[in-house]
Structure 1
């Protein structure tokens, strides 16, 4: 599962489903002490913002985002990088990763990382509340303006045929649930709780996230039945019309509970760098915006997320980031 790339693309050190099921044990990992070089490419430019020129005071700043490598983190960290460098004149915005959750939280607490933008709450509360982390960080308000989703899903053409609930799956036309990594925490829940709890005559087949998505593409193109674990935000929700199955017995919980997506920064950032602090605090994205941004990055190739970001901005989306830019300029006294 670990993939080292010269750019922060869609490789990941652990699956989202695995990491979101972890407790505090990972919080004892390595403390990152210095701002090492990032992995994100700085090639390409965003469109003209119409919000004024770059801030000269940002030219010598060195910002380092930590990344876990999940798709929404790749999307947001690279979008932030492009806007901060192009529109606000930051000299260096690096992305370090993929890293696991323990080092990410400890890195922000220790000052080696400026921010980590993919905190899932309350899922990651054990990391945040660690004695080595909590006194040294600040959790910013949610940047994701929507509700996360997680659970078994089917294409909408199956929902139209009456597959509305997990309880309907015995008549789905398939006896297979196409799963993801066997280490993912949701897989035992499906196998040990959902399948027997709903008396499903189905088999869970584990593989990988990439293999699941490839099978989804194949079945969806042929309008054939398929049942998968799905989650949002993720580009699959933009590319495919999916229906998240109802769970009347609540057997998917707590994984199906909605989470807040937030950014964690070092506690000193507000005083040490109010411009960066204001920018990060102003970030807001809807589910549709995140999903479409992720899809553009996927189209551009996992080794070139900057190209995908610029393509997304060029499609009339620069207006999305203009309030972030204005917040930074206001903090710099150039509103």
Structure 2
């Protein structure tokens, strides 16, 4: 009888041991496709490239659409998009206040702290006397009364300031095009040491490629500390409840400014695709990748970190 009890106790101990180990979760198959949006901004293209490498390593399929900012918020509200990684705060939270007030989308958390977004000039222009918004009007003819912007919808605070004649900018024009269109103008001017004012932000390769100065005194337009911003990840309503594993990955995805600056530079100067640049930067930053995969599995519940390391070859 003693042996029988011993075997029974041993079996119970094994059962308890198995039960005590955490179960790998994964997601239902309905979550296998992840629909995200980009704006044509290289920083979001790069972070989306990181997300694509990670999600596809985990057995998901990521689809990315190029949309205008207004359309992105409406698509999230309607449930047409799963995730958007480009919620620059505070500027977008003021511009799209109604969506946050009505609770028509969810906030998964920050993906970058310490970004900035405001008007910039080459440092040789700053050294000549243009260091603040108030200085622009003094040298309007040198700039041809133009400030180069990016996609329509992304420059609205500056357009509003011009229309209100803030800082004496009433005669000026905000030239809207695209990120690449604006950077082409910056590059041409910089090479010839000509004067140009443009929308600048960090993280971006422009901070590595050029010596630029962000203009002061624009707090009322872009926010304090040179448009100091934090970038957040948004999702459609209820996404984290329906697809908790992949939502956990997006909640974990927090970047560093230098990481993005150099990843973006690999895209713009070396011609790498977003996923190739992402893979290169992830290989160089294995500890960061490890934090992203904390508590995240593959779609079918296997070891997420092992799957990613196998994919990127680290």
Question: For 1:283, which of 253, 266, 275 is the aligned residue?
Answer: 253
Cα distance 1:111–1:208, how it changes in 2: closer, same or farther (>3 A)? Answer: closer
Matched residue, 1:310: 279
- Kindly indicate whether residue 112 of structure 2 is the aligned counterpart of residue 144 of structure 1: yes
Residue 217 of structure 2 aligns to a residue whose secondary structure is coil
Residue 199 of structure 2 aligns to a residue whose secondary structure is strand
Report how far residue 182 of structure 1 moved: 9.0
Report how far residue 236 of structure 1 moved: 1.9
- Kindly indicate whether residue 133 of structure 2 is the aligned counterpart of residue 166 of structure 1: yes
Cα distance 1:291–1:217, how it changes in 2: closer, same or farther (>3 A)? Answer: same
Cα distance 1:211–1:57, how it changes in 2: closer, same or farther (>3 A)? Answer: closer
Question: For 2:87, which of 91, 113, 119 is the aligned residue?
Answer: 119
Matched residue, 1:326: 294
Residue 198 of structure 1 aligns to a residue whose secondary structure is helix
Matched residue, 1:224: 194
Number of corresponding residues: 269
Residues of 2 paired with 1:271 and 1:104: CA distance?
21
Matched residue, 1:62: 32
8 Å contact 1:165–1:246 — kept in the other structure? Answer: yes
Report how far residue 113 of structure 1 moved: 3.3
Residues of 2 paired with 1:182 and 1:270: CA distance?
30
TM-score normalised over the length of structure 2: 0.69
Report how far residue 283 of structure 1 moved: 1.2
Residue 81 of structure 1 aligns to a residue whose secondary structure is helix
Cα distance 1:156–1:173, how it changes in 2: closer, same or farther (>3 A)? Answer: farther
8 Å contact 1:67–1:74 — kept in the other structure? Answer: no
Matched residue, 2:3: none
Residues of 1 paired with 2:204 and 2:212: CA distance?
12
Report how far residue 323 of structure 1 moved: 0.5
Report how far residue 85 of structure 1 moved: 2.2
Matched residue, 1:71: 42
Residue 327 of structure 1 aligns to a residue whose secondary structure is coil
8 Å contact 1:179–1:212 — kept in the other structure? Answer: yes
Larger radius of gyration: 2
Residue 248 of structure 2 aligns to a residue whose secondary structure is helix
Residues of 2 paired with 1:147 and 1:59: CA distance?
35
Select the structure that is richer in helix. 2
- Kindly indicate whether residue 181 of structure 2 is the aligned counterpart of residue 211 of structure 1: yes
Stretch deviating more after TM superposition (202-211 or 230-239):
202-211
Matched residue, 1:93: 61
Residues of 2 paired with 1:264 and 1:205: CA distance?
29
Cα distance 1:318–1:187, how it changes in 2: closer, same or farther (>3 A)? Answer: same
TM-score normalised over the length of structure 1: 0.65
Residues of 2 paired with 1:270 and 1:182: CA distance?
30
Matched residue, 1:3: none
Residues of 2 paired with 1:273 and 1:201: CA distance?
49
